[in-house]
Amino acid sequence: MIEIGVINNPRMAQAFVDYLAVQKIDAKVAQTEDGFAICLPAMTHVEVASQELDIFLADPYQDKYQAASWDVADTRTVNFSYGSGNMLSNFLMHAGKVTLTIFALSVIVFVAMYFSMLTQNEFIYAALHFPFDLSVTSLSEVWRLFTPAIIHFSVLHLVFNLLWWWYLGGQIENKLGSKKLLLLFLVAALIPNIGQFLLTGPNFGGLSGVVYALVGYIWWTGWLAPTQGISLPKPYVGFMLVWLVLGFFPIFGLNVANAAHVLGLMVGCGQAFLDYKFKSSN
């Protein structure tokens, strides 16, 4: 592999590689001690790619680079060449403080619930589950409107949700900021939780409503405003939509919070549309 330059930001490095792919130039991103190296497999396009890199570094936010990322997102495979000893740093690099905080809280709550059940004292769940009703008295414990999102009932439930949260939330936080992800989390916890309560009562939990909000937000933002630099490959969208539909059929014997999933997806798509309209009007 022939290195033609190094970019400090992994998102920008991938955006440049995507742009080269549109130009029919094969390249990969390799993590190094100095940053993220742009590497070509042969000398054939080195001169052209080097010139394009200089142009890119002068103005990496041009629309053509963001559009290229959207064009190749459906067929792209992850091209980062991670070192075997860098798993933790790679995990942290993809996630911001909000992503990591919700991730850690979900794990802590799950472990605490497990040990509290062993002692037959489910005080953790009792303190965090949704209110039994929406009266003024119940709403004095306002955190209960949000905390069901960090409650999980099995290892599979936890791992599935946290992997999606890390992947989707990290993308939003790194590109659009912590405040945007926090807003999405709060709204996508509140509205789906209320909807699920009205349908099934207070005994539910999980981050999946929020995950579906992130799916909807990234999906629609990538479609409406590709220059924002976030996108979700269509196979991923398809998988999540199929999983959403399967939740309405008891074929896996799972108790699925369908209302939270649907409302979460609607929240994410709606927020993406509002953001697009707001930016378009300014």
Q: Which tokens belong to 268?
A: 């994410």
User: Is residue 69 a contact partner of residue 14, using CB atoms and an 8 Å limit?
Assistant: yes
- Angle, vertex CA 37, rays to CA 8 and CA 1, nearest 5: 180
Question: Distances in Å between the alpha carbon of 189 and those of 145, 172, 202, 222, 261?
Answer: 8, 17, 14, 22, 11
Compute the residue count for the chain: 282
21: left (phi over 0), alpha (psi -120 to 50) or beta: alpha
Q: At what angle do helices 10-22 and 63-72 cross, to 10 degrees?
A: 80
Q: Which tokens belong to 180?
A: 């945007």
Spatial CB neighbours of 214, under 8 Å, sequence gap ≥ 6: 164, 165, 168, 169, 172, 184, 188, 268
User: Is residue 189 a contact partner of residue 146, using CB atoms and an 8 Å limit?
Assistant: yes
* Residues classed as catalytic: 208, 261
Residue in the structure block whose two tokens are 């080097």: 50
Would you call 2 helix, strand, or coil by DSSP? strand
Cβ atoms within 10 Å of 202's Cβ, excluding its own = 16
